[in-house]
Each structure stands twice: as C-alpha cells, then as structure tokens.
Amino acid sequence: MIQFEQTFMNFLFHHQEKFNRTYHFLILMDAVISAAKHIQHYYLTGALKGNLGLAGEVNIQGEEVMRMDQIAHEIVIHYLKTSERVIHAVSEEEELIIPLEEKRGRYFFYFDPLDGSANVSHGLPVGFLFGIAKKNLKGTEDGHLRAGNDYIAAGMFVIPTGTFTLALREAGAWRFHVDETMNFVKPIRMILPDDTRSWELSFNEANRYTFDEKIQNWIAGNENKYSFRYLGALAGDFHRLLSNGGMFMYPAIINHPNPKKNRPQGKLRLMYEAAVVSFMCREAGGHAVDETGSPILNKKPDQPHQRTALYVGSKKLVDDIAGVLQG
C-alpha cells in the first residue's frame, strides 16, 4: 500500500479556508517553500560545486560572508519578488531594508537566508529563518520594524535535513518533513513536553564564564538536572528543543577577559533569529525572555539588525531564569 501524507500547501489551504482568510498568504508561502527547496539544492551539492567556501566579503555585522549566504539571499529575494506580496524585506545579508512591492504589497518579511555559518564549510545543518508581519490594513501604517508580538507567522527550515516548522499566530507550531517528491508533508503539531526527563540545555559552553554571575550560578545549580546539546546553528538547536523541551540560551557576554569581545547586547539578531524562535516557542506552549527577563516578543526593534540576548524554551525554565535576571 502506498502511504500518502497531507502536503504543506494542502494543510495551509485548509487553514486559510477554516479561518476565512485571503489567498495572499498562500502565495507568499508558496514562494517561501520554493526558495527553501532551491537553497536546499544548492547546499546539498555545495561541496561539489565549490559553494561552501568564503565569498571574500565582510557583511554589515563584520562577519565573513560565505558564498552560500549570498546564494541563499539571492534565491529568497527572487521568490519574494515573484510573490508580489511583500512590501519590504529585512535580510541578514543586507544592511538596508529592501523595498519590494511598496504599493501593492501586504506583508513585511524578515529573514536570515542561511543561519549558522560555522556549519557551512562542513555541510552540517544550517537554517533559513523568517518572520512575517502584516500591513496595518485599518489605521495608519507604523513602519516596518515590528515586535515579534506583531508577527502573523514565523518559521524555519533546517537545511539540508529537510524539516520545516511553521508557527501561525494563535494556531500552533507545525512541523513538516520533506518527502521523496521534495514536498513538505505530514503536519505534526509541536507542543513542548512537560516531562522534564527529555529536557536539554543548549548554550555555548565556551562562553560560560563570560556571562553575568547570576547566570553562571544558575547554570551551576541546574546543569546536572538536564542533558546538554549544542549544534551552533539556532535552527538545529531550536528544532531539538521543540521536540525535547528545555532551554536554549545565548546570554549577554559581559565578563570576557578581552573587554573588546564583550557583547552586552547579546549576539543573536532580534528580528530574524530571536523573535522568530520566540514566536514559534510561544505557539508550542513555551516562553522567551531577554537579558532583563522581559518577553522577547514585546521588544520593538529600533533598527533592523538589532541584537538581543535570548533565553527560550519550556515555560518553567524560562520563568525561572527570568526571575534570576530580574532579581
């Protein structure tokens, strides 16, 4: 017997129909899926085609750009254009906000086309992360730098693993797997598990003694209770977290022996990393806070590439650390 699974687009059509929504979001998501498939293809064959190396440029964040970063960015922008639904996009790869369909567009799209560069030269998992906000259709438009609470959807592809997770506002976080026809299929609703036995902690252990002492003490008091996993690519680490529960954190770096390497603002980018996973986490029953213990989703960015510290995961753990951060 052939086993058939529901496709992502079929799932989404039914979702839009059930909630009486327009077709515009469908057109946008179709473009996003096409982009992800293209990125996946280039990444899989990247080692053979010489695409997993450096591009020879430094980006606005002062980081060396990988060839794949550029390819992935180009692919996403191409498909966003063809959707004709996006007013502005913010990409990790471009300093300025990218104007697309300013008059007829309906959405704002914030994305990191290939997150986790340290994994690229090894062909190991990276992510394509995105958040989507919608134009204010009723009142005056307040611009395009939206807080995560204003997103209507957020998602991530783990590349080249072939998994896709999409969270829809007040409608849950859903995981799909790629099938033999390169379709994303079989929606599975993701809910963070209550059972603490599977919970994991995920952070860069090498940074541990650069964190605020309160955080170092919290780690010392909790590290023996949970397993520890760290891939170094947010999409992969967050993918595990959604299944197993626990907490991913990238705290502010304030005690580095070389003060120039301190990152009091945190490392992760708010609009297309922290807010994206925080939105997904909320839809899976979890929570996320910044270095002040305040919800990430309430943070309205002042500029597109703003950074933040991030603590995201099972509500109990995040509430616990928020208490420490506020104490």
Give me the residues that bind ligand AFP (CB under 6 A), please: 63, 115-118, 204, 232-234, 237, 267-268, 273
* Euclidean distance between CA atoms 153 and 109, whole angstroms: 10
Minimal distance in Å, beta carbon 265 to ligand AFP? 13
151-159 and 307-308 beta bridge pairing? unpaired
Of 257, 38, 294, residue with least CA distance to 147: 294
| Closer Cβ to ligand AFP, 9 or 124, answer by number | 124
| Closer Cβ to ligand AFP, 14 or 122, answer by number | 122
Minimal distance in Å, beta carbon 249 to ligand AFP? 10
| Closer Cβ to ligand AFP, 100 or 274, answer by number | 274
Of 98, 82, 83, residue with least CA distance to 26: 83
Minimal distance in Å, beta carbon 74 to ligand AFP? 17
| Closer Cβ to ligand AFP, 114 or 317, answer by number | 114
Amino acid at site 108: F
| Closer Cβ to ligand AFP, 117 or 183, answer by number | 117
234 with 115: CB under 8 angstroms? Answer: yes
| Closer Cβ to ligand AFP, 183 or 308, answer by number | 308
133 with 107: CB under 8 angstroms? Answer: yes
Minimal distance in Å, beta carbon 156 to ligand AFP? 10
242 with 200: CB under 8 angstroms? Answer: no
Minimal distance in Å, beta carbon 104 to ligand AFP? 33
Cβ contacts of 216 within 8 Å, gap of 6 or more: 208, 209
Minimal distance in Å, beta carbon 115 to ligand AFP? 4
| Closer Cβ to ligand AFP, 117 or 244, answer by number | 117
Residues constituting the chain: 327
* Euclidean distance between CA atoms 188 and 125, whole angstroms: 21
Minimal distance in Å, beta carbon 180 to ligand AFP? 29
Residue carrying structure tokens 């977290």: 241
Per-position DSSP letters for 23-82, written without gaps between them: SHHHHHHHHHHHHHHHHHHHHHTHHHHT-SSEEEEE-TTSPEEEHHHHHHHHHHHHHHHH
